[in-house]
Each structure stands twice: as C-alpha cells, then as structure tokens.
Amino acid sequence: MKYLMIALGGCCGALARYLLANYVGNRLGTRFPYGTFVINITGSFAIGFFVTVLANRMALSRNLVYLIPIGFIGAYTTFSTFEFETLRLVQDGQVASAFLNVVGSVVVGFAMVWLGVVAGKVFA
C-alpha cells in the first residue's frame, strides 16, 4: 500500500508541477523562471504545512505521509525537501551545517548543471 500511495501522489504531483509551470509561464512569460519559482515556493510552504499537520495529528493514516509529502510534494518539487531539511538543521542548532547545505547545494548544484551541459555537448 505504501508504494501505491507514493506512486499516486507522485503522479499527481508531477502533473500539478507541469500544469502550474505552464500556466504561470503563459501568464507571466518565460524571461524569468516564474513557474519554477512559484512551484518551489508553494512546495516549500506545502511540505512545512503538511509535515507539521501530519506529525501533530497521529490519528491520521500513515498512508497520508506517503501520499502527500513523499509522493505529491516530492514529485511537485524536491526544493521543498531541501528547504525543510535545512530548517531542521537550524531547529537542531546546526546553523553552520544549514548554511553549508544552502551554499553548497546552490554553488555545487550550479557547477554540476554547468558540468552536465559541458559533458552533454561532448557526447551530443
């Protein structure tokens, strides 16, 4: 049942991401990645909200954890998970680790995208 909930949530999250990104891009243009920005921000809110609600209402089915934060929000955006994990580091008093996670993810992530493009051009 766990895998079914993750798959169902993931399918819906991926579709929501696609539809919202296209909608926002069509409304605001594509000169700036507005669609991705909206998805990352709403996903960050959603994971914080749903993880908190699910953690504080234990009467809710464990399947909702698989369906919503793992399946839906996980497919909707992984940025939200990154943000939530960074918040947990700050809450645990690991501010330096949180800072390293943010800076490292952005800088190293950007470098890896660039490296992937360079490597892709070699093989294209």
Please check whether residue 34 is in contact with residue 28, taking contact to mean a CB–CB distance below 8 angstroms.
yes
Mean pLDDT estimate for the chain:
90
* 76 vs 15: CA distance, rounded Å: 8
- pLDDT score at 92: 95
Give the burial class of 109: count Cβ atoms within 10 A of its Cβ; 0-12 exposed, 13-18 middle, 19 or more buried.
Answer: exposed
Please check whether residue 98 is in contact with residue 90, taking contact to mean a CB–CB distance below 8 angstroms.
yes
pLDDT tens digits, 56-75: 776 667 888 899 999 999 99
pLDDT tens digits, 79-119: 888 898 999 999 999 999 999 999 999 999 899 889 988 88
- pLDDT score at 31: 86
- pLDDT score at 59: 66
- pLDDT score at 76: 95
* 81 vs 99: CA distance, rounded Å: 15
- pLDDT score at 27: 96
